[in-house]
Amino acid sequence: MTTSPARAASFAGEIKQQSYQLKRFKYNSHYWILKFLSEANRPLRILEVGTADGYFGAILKEQGHYVAGVEREEALAMKARHHYDSFYQADIEEFDFPFRDGFDYILFADVLEHLRDPAAVLRRSLPALKRNGEVVISVPNVANFTVRLSLLFGMFNYANRGILDKTHLRFFTLSTIKNLLQESGGRIVEVVPSPIPVQLVLPVTEKRMFYPLHEFNYFVTRLFRGLFAYQFVMRARAMH
């Protein structure tokens, strides 16, 4: 099957039209983040940086975790704060993380690509972790084949959401996000790729009959993650 240049250029743009909300299908970034947290099998202290309207914090709170949140946008913060045990409306770029050894996990879910200086933010956040605590990060993969194909035809078109979200200030490949974590004082524990979310572009594929398609999509993404990953989700610990 061939992909036209126009289709490749618009694929991420179609995904961006979806509003920020919990992604419920298998192997997406939220799936992996919740899986990582569930492996602890105990109540956790979690700091979510960039809460949006609190859709993720609401789930974590319901699961019995202590959840703190940080969000810059006032309208979103007003919607989110009641889902959290403690909440800070603040510019993440300037937030001083006034905690020490306080959290089992700090979440940066789809956040770092929106920051001017993500390394500085990560560096300030790490002391807030307990000794064996972890940061969990998800970032889009700008080296995804749809972007590469678009570039081949001279296109780098921004849209409302997705890999080329027009609000993104930074772009990451697997190599550059690894370097960023290491430069910030982090030690990578695990990296998993998430496949292109076909379900968002073609909702009909959410039906059970399409499950084999999604399993194959993820299989290929794991084999060639630098090329086919839509996002990378990773766990890292502070280097002591």
Residue for token pair 């194959």 = 216
Quick: pLDDT tens for 189-215: 999 999 999 988 888 988 889 999 999
> b/e string for 73-98 if b means 16 or more Cβ within 10 A?
eeebbeebbebbeebbbeebeebebe
Q: Chain-wide mean pLDDT for the chain?
A: 90
Global model pTM greater than 0.75: yes
Residue 144: is its pLDDT beyond 70?
yes
Q: pLDDT tier at 21 (50, 70, 90 boundaries)?
A: low
Contact assessment for residue 47 and residue 99, using Cβ atoms and an 8 Å cutoff: yes
The vertex-170 CA angle with 198 and 128, nearest 5°, equals 100
